Chains A and B, each alone.
Chain A
């Protein structure tokens, strides 16, 4: 049987373009509901007492911004609302700029936040898993200074932080390795700290085994949908919520094309059988 005749893929590209662009301009507001993994992350943050400290690692670069930036913003906002002090770090070199960008986006909403008291950016350190392992042994040896060159001994937020013991929870926003896996294996498995994470939708299946009875991972924000769900939970619709319309329409187009592809295939197969007779 000959190869089934399929539609020129440029039509698909054109429809995907309009399917993504139009819902971003004209919001539809499709319904959204919270899933278990997102609720677990929300509950973890919500259960933290006022003044506790959390470590958020920005392990991604601009390529993953559309998916990970909205969830980073929602998570940081939730932490600031709960008066959780945030220690930012990055296992990816460009994660540092991602932290700065999130802080710049939120600084107008939180004018009273003080650098060094309410949050600190420790910056990037090469070494991936070994860096995390060393942080667990002696934080100050790995990060003697913050991103701006201040000694961390002079920063009030770092008082009592010598390893992971005084960290309420660890969160990795990850686009690959090093990322969630490395944080789980060290921060949770070796040092017993509650660990959670956010990742791109495509890498979610690799992270799901860590959500288990041992709570290696306390919930997971997977992809734009999880970011939109988190925005819904904190009552702050943002770019993820508006992006979900675009993502849903794009998926709908793909599904329609999959259906067309299958109809064409079965029609050709049937015609082939008839021709054979």
Chain B
């Protein structure tokens, strides 16, 4: 029963949504609209569930003093601070439990939540992303070695796209006459991106799409049950 009811719900909802795509009239159109609203409500609760899960997982790691448990403490403290400040004084123009917090906003220049967001979180995320530049540079240096025919093709196209997608392409080939326009690096880069890359991407997308249809049907028909957990 514990597994049959979720399977029945999945089957019914899945079939209603599929039919509503082909027959968008009463009752299917109306039902799918209602189900979409339910989904939005459940999504809201899922965020709350995610936060509770984050709290629980981190508490357990700290409790059992797992490796690097100190970092989990920082996560939890940061989480509690941000949630508390958001609750007390709100964010942006929306008020919190204690109102708009004019006094503290005048001192900080922002509401406390927004102050931490703009001055800490924003910079931490930008730093994390910026670090990628160093690792991509290092990876490119090591990976783009022309060992085989395939790696030579990859190397040449990578160099052309890199040159074409920066201002270097215009700088190096901008002087070419109109008759040699096909050698203009930004044009070559655009060609690589528009034709070979897009053709490859389309193949991947069609494959992924067919895969999604297959998995969805398996879930709707109750063949694939791993999402229910358990055995």
Contacts and interface: CB of A to CB of B under 8 A. Distances in A.
Interface in A234-253: 244-245, 247-248, 250-253
A137 B33 contact: yes
Interface residues of A, number: 64
Given A6-B142, A205-B201, A62 B122 contact: yes
Interface in A137-166: 137-138, 141-142, 147-149
A63 B126 contact: yes
Interface in A196-235: 201, 204-206, 208-209, 223, 225
A96 interface: yes
A176 to B, nearest CB: 12
Given A204-B193, A248-B168, A261 B202 contact: no
Contact of A126 (B47, B140, B193): B47
A63 B125 contact: yes
A130 B162 contact: no
Given A96-B92, A209-B205, A31 B36 contact: no
Interface string B3-39: 0000000000000000000000000000001001101
A45 interface: no
Given A127-B43, A205-B193, A12 B165 contact: no
Interface stretch (A32-40, A76-84, A105-113): A32-40
A255 interface: yes
A245 B198 CA distance: 28
Given A65-B126, A244-B166, A254 B137 contact: yes
A265 interface: yes
A205 B201 CA distance: 7
B128 interface: yes
A100 B92 contact: yes
A209 B209 CA distance: 14
B40 A251 contact: no
B175 to A, nearest CB: 10
B43 A225 contact: no
A64 to B, nearest CB: 7
Contacts of B37: 134, 141
Given A147-B94, A248-B166, A62 B125 contact: yes
B129 A63 contact: yes
A132 B190 CA distance: 31
A265 B155 CA distance: 14
A207 to B, nearest CB: 9
B93 interface: yes
Given A33-B174, A148-B93, A254 B140 contact: yes
Contacts of A205: 193, 197-198, 201
Interface in B178-216: 186, 190, 193-194, 197-198, 201-202, 205
Contact of A225 (B133, B165, B171): B165
Interface stretch (B71-79, B144-152, B223-231): B144-152
A126 B167 contact: no
A124 B101 CA distance: 23
A66 interface: yes
Given A63-B126, A65-B126, A31 B138 contact: no
Given A225-B165, A244-B166, A208 B197 contact: yes
Nearest to A61: B125
B170 interface: yes
Contacts of B123: 62
A35 B194 contact: no
Given A20-B133, A31-B167, A36 B190 contact: yes
A261 B126 contact: no
Contacts of B146: 262, 265
B190 A261 contact: no
Given A126-B43, A130-B40, A131-B43, 11 more contacts: A7-B141, A9-B142, A31-B170, A31-B171, A32-B167, A33-B186, A63-B126, A208-B194, A251-B162, A254-B140, A255-B162
Interface of B: 33, 36-37, 39-40, 43-44, 46-47, 91-94, 114, 117-118, 121-123, 125-126, 128-130, 133-134, 137-138, 140-142, 144-147, 155, 158-159, 162-163, 165-168, 170-171, 174, 186, 190, 193-194, 197-198, 201-202, 205
17 contacts: A6-B142, A12-B141, A16-B133, A20-B133, A33-B170, A33-B174, A62-B123, A130-B39, A134-B37, A134-B40, A201-B165, A205-B198, A208-B194, A225-B167, A244-B167, A251-B163, A255-B159
In the A-B complex, the 5 residue pairs with the closest CB atoms: A30-B167, A126-B43, A248-B166, A62-B125, A62-B122
